[in-house]
């Protein structure tokens, strides 16, 4: 099975290529800019026609949430119209599309995990642009998986963000700077390697549709940071703040935990807990012993 991975040099893309290579039944095809730019409709179609993949996994996105507020045209160009370009090409080739989306399609007013049946109501440009992309996938693709996830971090780091939350916290702690992290935004941080394994497990099932996939459990960003420091034995000048004090340009949902029950319903298991996944990530990075 030939699997094209768009955004193969990103955090999730890197782990997807790694997992696909480790499975005998898949032939991974990495796609990265400028050779493959989702904004270029003719390029997308031409490249995919030439490659003839059985599955296309789209991880490409403009993910800098605050910058999306300042550059909404770019956010929609990548996250919405770029997704449309990929969906059209996949429909033309009659191949399966796996599209990655976000917990930020929700407004955060709920206080229990969001299911796939809950009505989205994004409160920032990033969330709106990603939800619009989802709608294009639903309306164009015959065979698709839309996968919403949350708080990604991976060994490769995010090329769009210059690292990830875990590495940022470690760097600030080692620099001796005061660290203040929001304690009123609750999510399920997700290790991209765990997500990659589950995506590859889901892909051949033909149980097409929308799925929420995250590591199990929930925490605030402050609690997440605290666990990082505890595992590494770091004791920085560290304290909680509320979102209003942080002063970010984009609004964030106060609660964006995603229910993974639909995975159980099709016979696939939960991902391990976020603390277990974080420990595994730090081991993989060589920051703590296995």
3-state SS, one letter per residue, for the chain: CEEEEECCCCHHHHHHHHHHHHCCCCEEEEECCCCCCCCCHHHHHHHHHHHCCCEEEECCCCCCHHHHHHCHHHHHHHHHHHHHHHHHHHHHHCCEEEEEEEHHHCCCCCCCCECCCCCCCCCCHHHHHHHHHHHHHHHHCCCEEEEEECCEECCCCECCCCECHHHHHHHHHHHCCCEEEECCCEECCEEHHHHHHHHHHHHHHCCCEEEECCCECCEEHHHHHHHHHHHHCCCCCEEEECHHHHCCCCCCCCECCECCHHHHHCCCCCCCEHHHHHHHHHHHCCCCCC
The answer on pLDDT for 160 being more than 70 is no
Residue 126 known to be catalytic: yes
Point out the least confidently predicted range of 58-67, 157-166, 240-249.
Answer: 157-166
113-124 mean pLDDT: 98
The residue among 35 and 186 whose pLDDT is bigger is: 186
- Evaluate whether 228 touches 166 at the Cβ level (below 8 Å): yes
Q: Which residues contact 205 (CB under 8 A, 6 or more apart)?
A: 266, 268
The answer on pLDDT for 159 being more than 60 is no
The answer on pLDDT for 163 being more than 60 is yes
Q: What does each C-alpha distance from 1 to 46, 145, 148 come to in angstroms? A: 20, 17, 24
CA neighbor of 154 nearest in space, from 7, 263, 4: 7
Q: What does each C-alpha distance from 272 to 64, 80, 250, 260, 280 come to in angstroms? A: 27, 31, 30, 12, 10
Q: Which residues of 221-244 are buried (b: 16+ CB within 10 A; e: fewer)?
A: bbbbbbbbbebbeeebebebeeee
Q: 145-155 pLDDT, tens per residue?
A: 999 999 999 99
Q: Above pLDDT 70, what percent of the chain?
A: 98
Length of the chain: 290
At 158, the pLDDT band (50, 70, 90 cuts) reads low
At 246, the pLDDT band (50, 70, 90 cuts) reads confident
Give the integer Cα–Cα distance in Å for 121 and 151: 18
At 254, the pLDDT band (50, 70, 90 cuts) reads very high
At 156, the pLDDT band (50, 70, 90 cuts) reads confident
Please state which architecture CATH assigns to domain 2-162+189-216+258-272: 3-Layer(aba) Sandwich (3.40)
Q: Which residues contact 200 (CB under 8 A, 6 or more apart)?
A: 16, 19, 20, 23, 26
> What phi and psi, each to the nearest 5 degrees, are found at residue 150?
-155, 140
Q: Above pLDDT 90, what percent of the chain?
A: 91
Give the integer Cα–Cα distance in Å for 125 and 117: 22
The answer on pLDDT for 141 being more than 60 is yes
Q: What does each C-alpha distance from 108 to 33, 52, 105, 112, 188 come to in angstroms? A: 33, 40, 9, 10, 13
Give the integer Cα–Cα distance in Å for 220 and 229: 14
The answer on pLDDT for 198 being more than 90 is yes
At 65, the pLDDT band (50, 70, 90 cuts) reads very high
14-33 mean pLDDT: 95
Name the active-site residue from 114, 126, 197, 211.
126
| Tokens at 232, concatenated | 């590494």
At 39, the pLDDT band (50, 70, 90 cuts) reads very high
């Amino acid at each position: 099975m030939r699997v094209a991975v768009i955004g193969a040099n990103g955090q999730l893309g890197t782990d997807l290529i790694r997992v696909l290579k480790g499975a005998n039944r898949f032939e991974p095809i990495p796609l990265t800019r400028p050779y493959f730019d989702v904004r270029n409709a003719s390029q997308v179609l031409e490249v995919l026609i030439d490659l003839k993949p059985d599955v296309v996994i789209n991880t490409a996105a403009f993910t800098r949430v605050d910058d999306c507020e300042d550059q909404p045209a770019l956010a929609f160009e990548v996250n919405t119209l770029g997704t449309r370009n990929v969906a059209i090409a996949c429909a033309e080739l009659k191949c399966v599309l796996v599209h990655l989306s976000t917990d930020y399609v929700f407004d955060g007013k709920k206080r229990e995990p969001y299911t796939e049946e809950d009505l989205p109501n994004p409160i920032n440009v990033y969330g709106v642009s990603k939800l619009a992309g989802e709608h294009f996938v639903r309306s164009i693709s015959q065979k698709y998986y839309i996968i919403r996830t949350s708080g990604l971090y991976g060994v490769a780091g995010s090329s769009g963000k210059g690292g990830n939350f875990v590495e940022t916290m470690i760097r600030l702690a080692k620099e001796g700077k005061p660290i203040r992290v929001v304690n009123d935004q609750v999510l399920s941080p997700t290790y991209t390697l765990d997500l990659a394994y589950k995506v590859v497990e889901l892909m051949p099932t033909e149980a097409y549709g929308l799925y929420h996939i995250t590591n199990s459990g929930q925490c605030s960003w402050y609690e997440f940071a605290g666990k990082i420091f505890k595992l590494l034995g770091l004791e920085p000048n560290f304290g909680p703040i509320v979102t209003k004090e942080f002063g970010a340009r984009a609004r964030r949902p106060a609660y964006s935990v995603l229910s993974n029950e639909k995975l159980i319903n099709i016979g696939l298991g939960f991902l391990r807990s976020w603390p277990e996944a974080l420990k595994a990530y730090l081991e993989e990075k060589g920051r703590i012993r296995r």
